[in-house]
Amino acid sequence: MARILSLWLVLMGMMMTQAQAASRLDTTPRIAVLSAFEPEWQALIGRLEGAKTYSINGMSYVTGTLEGKPVVLAMSGMSMVNAAMTTQILIDRFQVGRIVFSGIAGGIDPALNIGDVVVPARWAQSLETIMGRKTDKGYVRPDWLTWAPDGMAAHGMMIPNSVVVGSAAEAAKPKVWFDADPALLAVAAKLEQSELAWCTRDGQCLAHRPKLHVGGEGVSSSAFVDNADYRDYLHRVYTARVTDMESAAVAQVAFANGVPFIVFRSLSDLAGGDEHANQMAVFMTLAAENSAAVVCRFIRALP
């Protein structure tokens, strides 16, 4: 009986393995390269060689080679949920060994300028929050919410919170930060400071030459940030350099699946710190192209 049971378990394991393999649309080991919306996508897709398109849930996933490396490109659409769904689909349906995100962001660190490309070492969800109860002592969280991180100041009623998540390597626990892969960051840190675009196609030029910055913190949420007070809060409490609407979601999914990731974000605006109106509409294509240019140099440099 034990022998029959053992044989049955082996057969079931083979069937599950075959089913998993059959669910993959492509079995070539690839780097997944993500972007969120059209300008970011256009900055990358034209550089792809040998493109082959797959459609999943109405979205396109395109395999090919980029800088001589096998990749699969996907445009997630904006928002944390879209980014998380797209990342999980890539991991489930393709043979993804590393994840790279290329896109634009709002600048939080006052030391950064529009057009700069930032590669944060870790990411947090800035609106993973508790909306606190107003009391005579200020806004407070329920006493039983013990996983709220200590030492992180609130922004009015918005009290920072963590997310409980685990992986195959770690039991589920509260986490605020998700680390980019150290080996990938080391490659990014060695990239040459070659020239990045500083003028738009219609001749609007920045007053500075954009630069590459590796390290520090980034934050993401489902909010478009264009508020000077909240920008200052994110820099003070999260020491954030940039903010966007996807990267921390990609980071969490990558962590849960044990896949190394790295994010490149070029500043299209200053998230409320602009001198006058928000400048994203003016500089988003320039920023997307700067991010894509650095990503291509990064992929070329990967071992």
Q: What is the 3-state secondary structure (H, E, C) of 5-42?
A: HHHHHHHHHHHHHHHHHHHCCEEEEEEEEEECCHHHHH
Q: Are 25 and 54 in contact (CB under 8 A)?
A: yes
- 147, amino acid identity: W
pLDDT number for residue 12: 39
Residue 80 has φ and ψ, to the nearest 5°, of: -65, -40
Q: Helix or strand or coil: residue 235?
A: helix
pLDDT number for residue 22: 45
Profile the chain (303 residues) by mean pLDDT over runs of 10 residues: 41 40 83 92 91 93 96 94 96 97 96 97 96 93 81 92 91 95 97 86 90 97 95 97 97 97 96 88 92 96 93
Per the CATH hierarchy, to which homologous superfamily does domain 26-128+176-301 belong? Nucleoside phosphorylase domain (3.40.50.1580)
Residue 301 has φ and ψ, to the nearest 5°, of: -85, -15
Task: Give pTM, 2 decimals.
Answer: 0.89
| Cα separation, 196 vs 118, whole angstroms | 13
Q: Are 187 and 46 in contact (CB under 8 A)?
A: no
pLDDT number for residue 9: 37
Q: Are 144 and 200 in contact (CB under 8 A)?
A: no
Contacts of 226 (CB under 8 A, 6+ apart): 106, 269, 271, 272, 278
